[in-house]
Amino acid sequence: MVKYICSVFLAVGFLSTKDLQAEESAPLTVTASDLNNGQITFTAHATVDSLFSVEIQLTDLSNLRPSKEGKLIFNLDGSGDTELMTLDQIEVGGGWGYYWSYWWNYGFSGENQDSNYTYRIPYASKDRFTVGQGYMGSWSHQDTYAIDWSMPEGTTIYAARGGKVINTKEDSNEGGAEKSFMDKANYITIGHLDGSKADYLHLQQNGALVQIGAIVKIGDPIGLSGNTGWSTEPHLHFQVFHQTDPQTSSTVSTNFLGKDGNVVSIQEGDSYYGSGDVQASTKTFANANAVADSVSGWSASPWLGRFFTSASNWIYHEHLGWLYPVDTAQEGVWLYHPNLNWLWTSKNTYPWLYFYDKKNWIYFEPSKGFYDYSQGAWSPHSTHEESSKSSTANGSNASGHSTNTDNGSAETENSSSSSDIIFDYRYDNGYFSANPDRKTALEYAAK
């Protein structure tokens, strides 16, 4: 479903332009402005509330340089106009010229998709359906990681993973065994910020229960199965793509969670109960009263601020870094910090933090650090961490040190020979992605 739109622009010396316009019905277009004050501005125009990825390619630059280095790939969320980049004139007043083209596709692009994510089997736990065709199936799945579950038309389909509905089709009532019916399939596509997207295909006519732009959670009903498109019998076709750029994506194998909470290996010819409607296990830290964004993974607490919850229930707080929360009474929480050890706070006391090791209350202000009234002084966050690490070095195995590298990536350094903490997600320039060196960190917080 990659959309290719090519625009070519050439200007030398003056403001003459030639722009090959895309079709007006396209949900996303990119335009280049005239030269103004030594700059040419590229702007994306989205007419629907979806996730998009755009790549701009430039050739034959003369007296111009782009404002962004490296690959010119941009991920966009929502509708409206977004300024992407500029071409800046090197010698103002001199001759200039360039050619450009662009591509776009639904969904975000990335290179750190979470290959270990466990998806739900996307139908109800009371239903048991047979896999008619599995990965690399001989009939229509050659070179494709896709699964066909045979099921009656009208079966409710549930979101196997939370995200944003980025594209739908539900107007078709045609289907058949010939490949010519391929573009007649109704579908729903849900995108995720790590550059993956899930397709649910062959839905019945008017079988989409969600609209483009909707945010869905795991287990939300999204559609009704059918028999449209290239299909010989009613079934659901499910596949996950990883997209590295708007022109490059591939299907990938996926892990699935069974109704009993165990990971199952899906095999062609076997039957499986669904898990789409199984309630997710309750996360720790209910006392944060946070509202989660199912697309980005970030949550917003009215009293603690913003944090990201990882697969192993560690949270990454926007100011305090990695923490492991354990709820207590009175809307309170113990927070395990890799360097500061155990901290306690609550809705009624934060930003006051009780340091268990110091047996002392400390006031936290993100822009200044920690204020210790017994000392009557502020200390930066990093200084306080070093002090705490020094005082607990002999009494704690969990002594990983969370640092920010030059590129903003949250990594861990081992400050003790006995153990280290390697978190299951990496935080890099505002986004989380799966850490290739992941291991569960729950055992460290329990010590």
pLDDT, residue 23, reads: 45
Residue 401 has pLDDT above 70, yes or no: no
Tokens of residue 427, six digits: 């935080």
DSSP of 241-289: EEEEETTEEEEE--EEE-TTS-EE---TT-EEE--TTSPPPPPS-GGG-
Alpha-carbon gap, residue 154 to 236, rounded angstroms: 11
User: Are the beta carbons of 433 and 112 closer than 8 angstroms?
Assistant: yes
Specify the fold of 118-273.
Glucose Permease (Domain IIA) (2.70.70)
User: In whole angstroms, how far apart are CA 46 and each of 26, 54, 91, 187, 445?
Assistant: 9, 11, 33, 21, 45
Q: Mean pLDDT score of the chain, rounded to an integer?
A: 79
CATH 2.70.70.10 domain span(s) along the chain: 118-273
How large is the average pLDDT for residues 338-345?
A: 90
Q: Which residue has the higher pLDDT, 103 or 284?
A: 103
Report cis status (omega within 30 of 0) of the bond before 302: no
* Both structure tokens of 215: 């945010």
pTM over 0.75: no
Say how many residues make up the chain: 447
| Start-to-end Cα distance in the chain | 50
Instruction: Look at residues 153, 147, 157 and name the one whose alpha carbon lies nearest to residue 271.
Output: 147
Residue at token pair 């360039």: 98
Contact between residue 54 and residue 107 where contact means Cβ atoms under 8 Å apart = no
Q: Which helix (H) or strand (E) holds 364?
A: strand 360-365
Contacts of 446 (CB under 8 A, 6+ apart): none
Domain with CATH 2.60.40 in the chain: 3-106
Per-residue pLDDT at 400 = 29
Please name every residue paired with 239 in a beta bridge, in sequence order, or none if there are none: 146, 199
Lowest-pLDDT range of 193-202, 205-214, 277-286? 277-286
Report the distance separating Cα 173 and Cα 207, nearest Å: 10
CB 379 within 8 A of CB 370: yes
Q: What is the average pLDDT across 304-331?
A: 83
Token pair belonging to 216:
């869905």
Q: What is the pLDDT of residue 311?
A: 63
Question: Do β-strands 215-216 and 163-169 pair in parallel, antiparallel, or remain unpaired?
Answer: antiparallel
Q: Strands 229-230 and 175-176: what pairing?
A: parallel
Q: 386 and 380 in contact (C-beta within 8 Å)?
A: no
Closest Cα to residue 7, out of 51, 73, 57? 57
User: What is the CB neighbour count within 10 angstroms for residue 8?
Assistant: 12
Residue-level pLDDT at 1: 39
Residue found by looking up tokens 């702007």 in the block: 43
Mean pLDDT of 8-20: 29
Model confidence at 419: pLDDT above 80: no
**Residue 295 has which token pair?**
């697309």
Q: By percentage, how much of the chain surpasses pLDDT 70?
A: 75
- Domain spanning 3-106, CATH class: mainly beta
Q: What is the mean pLDDT of residues 301-318?
A: 84
Mean pLDDT score, 57-64: 95
**Could you tell me which residue, 299 or 6, shows the higher pLDDT?**
299
65 pLDDT higher than 80: yes
Label residue 429 exposed, middle or buried (CB < 10 Å: 0-12, 13-18, 19+): exposed
